[in-house]
Amino acid sequence: MEKNDISVEDAIKALESAPEFTGLPLRVKTLIKQRLESLNKITYPIIISRENGWVIATAPVFDLAAQGKDEHEAIEGIKAMIDDYMHDPDTQKQRIEKIVNITITTDAAVSIASQTA
């Protein structure tokens, strides 16, 4: 995090103590908190394959892979590796400017959808 950044958890705590927030209906407060919490989540593709009796979970975005005796074990392993990567202060992280989804159909047409992060 850059020095001017604030965590989602800290933003929610600050918001909850603001007089403008405390006067809102409970349903509105819940929706605002849910939206803030969703900002902290990004979905990444995990590729599952099998090799020599092992299940392999690969996270191409992070260039990480984990293996397990079954799919559950492999997925739990890759989740732990991604978590370690994200929380390791010595690992330099990429700053995401844009997330692009590309869909390729059988007739080789390419559709691109982008979302600014």
The candidate with the shortest Cα–Cα distance to 45, out of 8, 82, 70, is 82
Q: How confident is the model at residue 1 (pLDDT cuts 50, 70, 90)?
A: very low
The proportion of the chain whose per-residue pLDDT surpasses 90, expressed as a percent, equals 37
CA–CA separation, 38 and 47 (whole Å): 23
Q: Is 64 helix (H, G, I), strand (E, B) or coil?
A: strand
Q: Which residue has the higher pLDDT, 96 or 64?
A: 64
Q: What angle do CA 98, 99, 102 make, to 5 degrees?
A: 130
State both tokens at 25: 């209906």
Write the pLDDT tens digit of every residue in 32-52. Answer: 988 888 877 788 889 999 999
The proportion of the chain whose per-residue pLDDT surpasses 70, expressed as a percent, equals 86
Residues 6+ apart with CB under 8 A from 33: 12, 15
